[in-house]
Amino acid sequence: MACDPGDAPSVATAPTPVVQAEAGAEAGAEAGAEAPPSEAQVVSAARLQRSIELEQKGDLEAARIEAEAAVAMEGGRDAKLQVAKLAILGRRYDDAAAVLEPLVQADAKDAAAQYNLALVRQHQGDYNRARNGYLAALRSDARYADARYNLAVLCLTHGFGDEAKHHVEKFRASFPDDARGPELERRIGGTGAAGPSGAATPTPAPAPAPTPVAPR
């Protein structure tokens, strides 16, 4: 029987990546020169940082308000990822999809956006779109452990044993030290252990928005 992904225990995710503050080149500026961030971009970065801090403290509603304010004030992809993450954590899957779909349409190689949208589809029970999204994330980043893990879980949950076994084997080969691997193998009988066949639970945590760096 398919499990409810939202009831899964929290699973640690990879460290939050750090990105440089966005800065575009001004029209007519010298090649390679960067324009300083606008006042709105500085405020947006600060509100995104505040949202991340509030989320870490467990205040998801206040974090949502700050993230949405960051988007409204010239916030780009990172702020939108944070809005989508908070919507997923709040089980507002339609809201998350509305934010993520334009991101993947603008950049199909955005692994984090593809992963988060696939996670939304998995929560919604949409096997095909969830599968395609995880595969797209892995095409962009073959080392995306959570995408490979969730893909194996998705196939197990929907009864596609052969494909699940393929993804479990890829997961174990790529991430031999990941503590989730042995349980996946037991689920499909990959180790010969006497574990019952059944559906594991997907990693519930969406990919985090990158932590903004204070503009110079």
Q: Where are the domains of the chain?
A: 93-206
- As a whole-number percent, the residues of the chain with pLDDT over 70 amount to 72
CA distances from 148 to 51, 73, 88, 91, 179 (A): 28, 35, 19, 22, 14
pLDDT digits (tens, 9 = 90+) for 128-148: 999 999 999 999 999 999 999
Distance (Å, whole) CA 79 – CA 61: 15
- What average pLDDT is seen over the chain? 78
Superfamily of domain 93-206: Tetratricopeptide repeat domain (1.25.40.10)
What is the arithmetic mean of pLDDT over 111-129? 95
Give the pLDDT of residue 206.
Answer: 65
Give the pLDDT of residue 75.
Answer: 84
pLDDT-derived band at 215, boundaries 50, 70, 90? very low
pLDDT digits (tens, 9 = 90+) for 3-49: 334 333 222 233 233 232 333 333 344 445 677 888 888 999 999 99
Give the pLDDT of residue 144.
Answer: 94
